[in-house]
Each structure stands twice: as structure tokens, then as C-alpha cells.
A = this chain, B = another copy of it.
């Protein structure tokens, strides 16, 4: 059987420990090609670079593995990976991460990791974004690897609905304390903003974004609930943002 082709990317940049862990797992399951940002891109959401040139360079970062660093966003990396690096070759799977920090709940809309996975899904490529609930650069990905391999193998065997992607978040626990995998919906939580206001060395005022994550969604079927109980959360996600339930209520606007 031909080895599957796996495109790997992330948003923390090609030198982040998280992508190294993901490449290690992926290279046991297939032929790996890496196209990742040359610098951290957290909080980039689904940004794409339309008004500037993008650079792409082959790099030797992972032994024996084809890898490119890209000056663009995570979504750019997937576009360039698919159409420039791989040319006509179609990946069997795209994996993004392992992100240093949670992308559960509303974080999916701010996440470069998940936007890369969504970009691949738009091309009909099964795709998964992986995130570990540890924001530190020195996060340990050891416990995550066996679970990530399990999920990747399952998707390679069973495929995925076209246009769908998986948002996988892993609690920051030792392997033997992780309870298993749980398929969930996205919790309806949000960030409550707080800005730090300060003055720079040249006397100019600036703001720096901080925030508190607030979850008022007490459903037992959410990703946040699963993570709190020690499960790995798996949310099947998609790019159709239509709020179908709200359509009826707008009929009056149509007739207005």
C-alpha cells in the first residue's frame, strides 16, 4: 500500500516544539511535507496575504523530511504547500499544530492553527488541528503523541466528510490521567477584554490586548466540559457560518 501524503503546518512557527512533535508522529504514518510560518502567527485567525509578496524557502529543520518556511500566515502556508510545493500532488491528510495553548470553544475563530486546517478542508483534504492546553514554549508533548497517532490513523482509515475538519484539544495531563477521546460541540464561551494601557519609551500611549476566558455554557456536551473532565475534545467543525435557526425571524426584513 502506498504511504499516505501528510501536509504539516502550524501557527507557532517552524521551530516551535509543537510542530516537531507532530512531525514525529506523522512521519511514522506517511510521507511528510512541512510548510510552516517562519515566525509565530498566533491570533492570525483566517488571515491571508493578498497585498504583499510571500516568500518560501526550503529548510533543513526535520531530519530527512521535506520542509519549507513561509513568510505568510498559516492559511497561506496551506495554499502554497498545496499548489507550489506539492504542485499536482494531493495530500491525504493535513495536520496543524501542535498548538501551544487551547483552541477550544471560541478560540477556533482567532486561531491560525485552525485556519490552516480549515483552508485544507476547503480544498477537500481531511484535516485536523491539534492543540495542547499549555501555552509555554517548553510544553511537554510526550503524553499527546499516542493519542494524536490514534486520531490520525483513524482519519486516514475512515476518511472524513468533505469540507469538515477536526478541532482537537488535549488537556495538559500525564498520559495515564487522560480519560480518552470525546466528540463534542464548541462551547459558547468568549473572551472578556481587558486592555493594558501604558506609555512607550518615546512617550506615546499604547494598548495591549489581554483578556479573561469566560464560559457560561454549562452543557455537558461541550469541548470545555470534556477538557475539564480530563478528556481530549474533538469538535467536528466547518466553514458554513450560516445561522439557519435565525433565518425565519428575518423574513420580516425581506418584506420590509
A residues near B (Cβ < 8 Å) are 40, 42-51, 53-56, 75-76, 79-80, 82-84, 106, 108-110, 115, 118, 122-123, 150-151, 154-155, 158, 160-161, 163-164, 166-167, 180-183, 185-186, 188, 190-191, 193-195, 197-198, 200, 204-209, 234-247, 249-254, 256
How many chain copies does the complex carry?
2
A97 to B207, CA, bound (A): 24
The answer to whether B122 touches A118 (Cβ under 8 A) is: no
Known pairs A161-B243, A181-B256, A183-B250. 12 more at Cβ < 8 A? A53-B198, A55-B204, A76-B209, A80-B195, A84-B207, A151-B253, A164-B246, A180-B254, A183-B251, A185-B242, A186-B240, A234-B250
Choice from B50, B204, B241 contacting A186 with Cβ under 8 Å: B241
Looking across the interface, which residue of chain B has its beta carbon closest to that of A83?
B193
CB distance from A56 to the nearest CB of B (A): 6
CB distance from A120 to the nearest CB of B (A): 12
CB distance from A66 to the nearest CB of B (A): 17
Residues of B within 8 A of A197 (CB): 84
| Known contacts A193-B82, A250-B234, A256-B154; is-contact A40 B46 (Cβ 8 Å) | no
The answer to whether B253 touches A154 (Cβ under 8 A) is: yes
Residues of B within 8 A of A160 (CB): 246
